[in-house]
Structures are given as C-alpha cells and as structure tokens.
Structure 1
C-alpha cells in the first residue's frame, strides 16, 4: 500500500480552528460564572435608537459588572442582577410621578414594593431601568447611563408646577 507523502504545510482547518475553539471556550468560561439573565424584550426593542444606546452602555454600572441577557435591546449589571435595562418600552405621556433630570436626561421615577423603575421622558425610544429601592448606588445609575441614553435626542422635557405660568389676572 502506498501512502501519500506528508506535506509540511498544515492540514486545512487543523491550526485555523484551534484559535477559534480557544475563543469559544473562553467565551463560555467567561459567562459560566454569570448565567444569562432572562429579560423580556420591550415592544419597540427593534428601534435603531436602542442599538445605538446598547452599543454605548458601560461595562460596569454602580460597581456592578455587565452581564448577558436574553432579550433584544436589554442589558443587566450584577449577579444576581442589581440593575436591568430595557430599551423600547412604552413612551410615557404626561404624568404626576416625580421626574428629575440627571446629566441632561429626564427620568420618571416610580416605586412598587422593593423595586424602583426609572423611565426616560421625552425620548423615542423610551428606556426603562429597574433596580432595588434600597440600592445605595442608585444615584450613580442614571448618571452613568446618561452618556449612552443622551444619544437619543430629547423631544420633550420634564416640567413641574414652577414651569407652568400662572393664569392671567382679570
């Protein structure tokens, strides 16, 4: 039996697959300690503005590392998750809920049980951020998200009672 001569050139795929396999294993190992968080995508998650924001989110938020999520246009930080972000939620209309401005971004704030929900106001698509009410780093969250969220232009601003002119006198 005659065997073909061996070439000194690497066989197709033998060395080319090795770096790819190492990268794949590294990706699995990196996420192995922090399982993917299931987060339901918002109705308008496919809005191009969401992709812009998501690509500019910080890798850590209020000292928590960013982790993988299942939903389109979602993100989370911390294990267990301390902060969850969803882009493309319903755009809020006028409200009596508190609305504050942090780094040029208006946020409507509501609390239910032990969860604080902050929703951007005046921006399309709207972004919702959920966190624990007792989070001592809660003030850092809107400040650190501001640069990414501000990439969506504001069409409206929060106003309060001081912004409403008094009725004309007769």
Structure 2
C-alpha cells in the first residue's frame, strides 16, 4: 500500500470512528432537585427505548431521559409539583400536563397533580407532542395522582 493510500485509510478510519462516537454521545443534562426520590427511579426504569420513533440516548444526570439525535425529547423527574395554574392543561395517556408553548415550536410540559413532577421538553418540528406524551405517560403514570386538571369553565364562580 502506498504511503498516500495508507494516510487516506487512516483518515477515513478516524472519520468513521468519530462519526460512530458522535452518534452514541451522552446528552448533558442537569438533575432536578428531587432526582433522588425513589418515585423517580420507578419512572426511570419504565422509560421507553423510543419516543415517537426517536431512539433513547444516554444522559449524564440522575432521573433523566433523552431521545433523538439531535435530542428532540428531554425528560427530567424530581421537580416540585406545580400549583394551580392558568396554563393550558391537557390529558394524554391518563396523565395531566401543563403546556408551556412560549418557545414554540418547542414545548415544555410539566406533569400536573403528581408527586414528584416530571418535566418534558420536546421539539415539535421533530416529534409529535401527543405521540411523545403518549409514549412517556406510561412511565409517568406510575406516580401517584394527587389532583387533576380542571376546566376553568366548569369551576363555579
């Protein structure tokens, strides 16, 4: 093998190795204050291998999950449960979620009426919010329910 072909082979091998490493990189996240709550461990062990078609990736923080490359769905367990809110609340897969769409097409959704709370950040340009929440609600649904969302029109004045 000529010297130039050998050099080309080494470069191609390095590029291939780098490419493979990049595909399996760990997603850097911050754990929530209550990430060590045993209930978060119950959620974490039930997290799916895929969310709305996006494969799960490793994270570097306790009680977290990430899916997609680039990460399109990020989950953090161990947040303080939110109190009453005027934010839109939806129910998907039996779990109530407060919807923060102020950064659309990216959404932050926080479980409502469950302790500890779970927060999900998702990119609506890559995943379907309903599909992603349906996949995640199976895991989040193990958290005990303390209250449910109410429709403002049904609350007496």
Q: Same fold (TM over 0.5)?
A: yes
Quote the Cα distance in structure 1 between the aligned partners of 2:113 and 2:46. Answer: 20
Normalising by structure 2, we get a TM-score of 0.81
Higher helix share: 2
**Offset at residue 113 of structure 1 (A):** 2.5
**Offset at residue 91 of structure 1 (A):** 1.3
For residues 60-75 of structure 1, the aligned pairs below 5 Å read 60-75=50-65
**Offset at residue 77 of structure 1 (A):** 0.2
What runs of 5+ residues in structure 2 fail to find an aligned partner? 1-19
For residues 66-105 of structure 1, the aligned pairs below 5 Å read 66-105=56-95
Number of residues of Structure 1 aligned to a counterpart in Structure 2: 136
Determine helix, strand or coil for the equivalent of 1:52.
helix
Determine helix, strand or coil for the equivalent of 1:139.
helix
| CA-based RMSD | 1.5
Normalising by structure 1, we get a TM-score of 0.75
- 4+ runs deviating over 2 angstroms: 112-115, 133-136
Residues 1:48 and 2:33 aligned together: no
Query: Structure 1, residues 56-81: CA drift from partner, whole Å, max 9, x if none?
Result: 01100000000000111001001110
